[in-house]
Amino acid sequence: MIEPKDLEKFKRLGVQSITALATLAPTAYEDKRIAPIMQVDKMQVIDATVEHISHSPRRTLLTLFVHNFNHRLEAVLFQPKPYMLRNFSLGEQSFFYGRISCNNGHCQMTHPVQITDVGSIIPKYKTVLRADVMRRLIERYLNRANLKTEGLPDSVIDTLLTVHFPTAEQGDKLSLNQIEALKFAELYDYMKVLGKKRRYFPALYRLHGKWKDWATTLPFDLTSEQITAIEAIETDLKKEVSAKRMIVGDVGSGKTMVILASALIAQPRRAILMAPTTILANQLFYEAQKHLPHIKSALVLNSTKKNLDLNDFDFIIGTHALLFRELPDGALVMIDEQHRFGTGQRKLLENLISKQERRPHFLQFSATPIPRTQAMIDSAHIDVSLITQTPFEKDITTSVIRKSDFAELLKKIEDELDQGHQVLIIYPLVEQSDALDYQSLDEARGYWEKRFENVYVTHGKDKNKE
């Protein structure tokens, strides 16, 4: 909550929320830590004793003994004001901050400033407010409790706080993670501002199914972001208006468990899920049977018999084959990998399920928001949940090998196969090229098929790649 006394400051900054304040990144950092070596052409703190002072009409020269790198250093003040000279007394040891430059072996610090805040990294902001006012505003509002109240994920909060309260690892520039967190916060705040501009339809049903007891029976713990997404969906599905929510999470972030939990919340009503490929539909059906054995699930593919009565099932999973079926009412419609379906296909599915004024709750799952989806976010047509964590640590080792290491590579492949694992080999070309001197898939496949059993070869034009 922004205090009334600070509303004018927020207005001058052009921000209306604490999240928006967090997106005002520092333009630079002042590193006030003491370094053991001289850093040329860089602002640096020195612990120094003034050994000699020489005045001339236009400048004052100082000889300093720098204790942190055990070296004498000349410092210069051009046309110094009296208050500046009061910081330098013969024999006095203090901390000074300034830029050191060297020319032909002669090093000099220009305009050293006496400081007391040694050992810190200080963010510098370029705003309409004075530096001290801006800093107090940052310290007053940017904390975990306030950002949590704003609804930001824990991982984003942690990273945003390192932007404004830098740790010892902070460099001169923002890291990729920090930039991504700032982008996320900016988009999130933008969506909240525009959140009132959406159309609402009455829902077919209000859904009150339970999922928390089920979650405790899983052989693994759900991540905090999975739980946050499920809780948001649970809140949506209880409402009298039809939900429209997109869940965005990278491959391996655990969206499948969010799908299954959503199907549980729909109970005792029916949930319908459309996937873009037969393989993905089969995988989702397998997971539903494994983790939701008490729910009657059906798999609908092109090969599924037409006389299968879908009214007998609580959870219907299928491909675009669902579009050519007479579907029973579904209280909840979900689309996985939504970017791989056209708008027309998704609309057709929604219309098939409910041609009336009342609409089913609608969830979309995606690994990558595409421009059309981005436009929907901009116009606030949908709510968004983001899953940035993964349920497990990815243990990935990357190595570059020489041709002479090929025997070692074969041994590694054999070891993986002996453990029942799969090995994937990717070639840059399908066919031999006159322009590119790379081995192609066609040239190499014979070796692998002869060397190992159960080798499958596929490429982009392979019609049977599923």
Task: Report the length, in residues, of the chain.
Answer: 466
Specify the fold of 42-114.
OB fold (Dihydrolipoamide Acetyltransferase, E2P) (2.40.50)
Rounded to 5 degrees, what are φ and ψ at 430? -85, -45
pLDDT at 227: 94
C-alpha to C-alpha distance for 55 and 80, rounded to whole angstroms: 10
Return the residue matching tokens 């009455």: 202
Q: What parts of the chain have a pLDDT lower than 70?
A: 194-198, 338-339, 341-344, 346-347, 349-355, 368-381, 392-394, 433-436, 462-466
The residues near 460 (Cβ < 8 Å, ≥ 6 apart) are 430
Of the candidates 102, 112, 121, 107, the one whose C-alpha atom is nearest the C-alpha of residue 34 is 121
pLDDT at 399: 84
pTM here is 0.51
pLDDT at 394: 66
pLDDT at 333: 92
Of the candidates 314, 345, 308, 307, the one whose C-alpha atom is nearest the C-alpha of residue 330 is 314
pLDDT at 352: 60
Longest CA span, the chain: 102
pLDDT at 105: 78
First to last CA, the chain: 52
pLDDT at 406: 86
pLDDT at 194: 66
Tokens standing for residue 171:
């460099």
C-alpha to C-alpha distance for 466 and 458, rounded to whole angstroms: 9
| Domain coordinates in residue numbering, the chain | 4-31+120-194, 42-114, 212-387, 403-451
C-alpha to C-alpha distance for 364 and 383, rounded to whole angstroms: 10
3-state secondary structure the chain: CCCHHHHHHHHHHCCCCHHHHHCCCCCEEEECCECCCCCCCEEEEEEEEEEEEEECCCEEEEEEEECCCCEEEEEEEECCCHHHHCCCCCCCEEEEEEEEEEECCEEEEEEEEECCCCCCEEEECCCCCCHHHHHHHHHHHCCHHHHHHCCCCHHHHHHHHHHHCCCCCCCCCCCHHHHHHHHHHHHHHHHHHHCCCCCCCEECCCCCCCCHHHHHHCCCCCCHHHHHHHHHHHHHHCCCECCEEEEEECCCCCHHHHHHHHHHHHCCCCEEEECCCHHHHHHHHHHHHHHCCCCCEEEECCCCCCCCCHHHCCEEEECHHHHHCCCCCCCEEEECCHHHCCHHHHHHHHHHHCCCCCECEEEEEECCCCHHHHHHHHCCCCEEEEECCCCCCCCCCCCCCCHHHHHHHHHHHHHHHHCCCCCCCCCCCCCCCCCCCCCCHHHHHHHHHHHCCCCCCCCCCCCCCC
pLDDT at 81: 84
pLDDT at 83: 83
pLDDT at 141: 95
| Burial (CB count <10 Å: 0-12, 13-18, 19+), residue 364 | buried
* CA angle 348–208–301, rounded 5-degree value: 35
Q: What is the CATH number of domain 212-387?
A: 3.40.50.300
The residues near 462 (Cβ < 8 Å, ≥ 6 apart) are none
Do the two domains 42-114 and 212-387 of this chain adopt the same fold?
Answer: no
